[in-house]
Amino acid sequence: MQVREAMSTPVTLATPDQTIQQAARLMLEADSGVLPVGDKERLVGMITDRDIALRAVASGKGPKTPVREVMTGEVKYCFEDEDIEHVARNMGEEQVRRLPVVDRDKKLVGILSLGDVATLHSGGAAGTALGDISHPGGKHSHG
C-alpha cells in the first residue's frame, strides 16, 4: 500500500509571516493540531499546538508572534508513492507522529499521521511505529 492511499487531504497551510494566533485559528478550523508551514509553495517548517503552547505561551510570547519564531524548521517528509510500511517504520525511528506528504516535484499533497496508518493498515507497522514514537525524546521533543 502506498502513502497516497492513507494520507489525509486537503492540507491547511500556514505561512512563516502569519501570527501564532492565526495559525491556532487555522488549526481550529481544520480540527488539527499541526500545520505545515509553506513559503511560495516550498515547505519550510511545521507548527503544532504544542509549539504554540511551549515555545510561545510558556515563554511569554504573545499572540502576534510570527509562526517562524516557534515552528520546527527541520521538516521530515515522505513521498506519496512510498510504501506505507517503510514510512511507518521511519516515523517510529524518527519519533514523529505526522509527516507532510509531497509529490516527486516536492509539492505538498497531504499529511500522513500514525492514525491514518492505523486506520487503513491494521498490521504491525502502526503498532511498531507507535511503540518507537512513545519513547521519550525525538526530533520534536520540547524537554
Residue 101 and residue 4 in contact, taking contact as beta carbons nearer than 8 Å: yes
Q: Is 27 helix (H, G, I), strand (E, B) or coil?
A: helix
Tell me the CA distances in angstroms from 10 to 4, 61, 85, one per residue in order: 12, 30, 22
Residue 141 confidence (pLDDT): 44
Q: For the domain covering 3-133, report its CATH number.
A: 3.10.580.10
Per-residue pLDDT of 7-35, as tens digits, reads: 999 889 999 999 999 999 999 999 889 99
pLDDT of 138 higher than 60: no
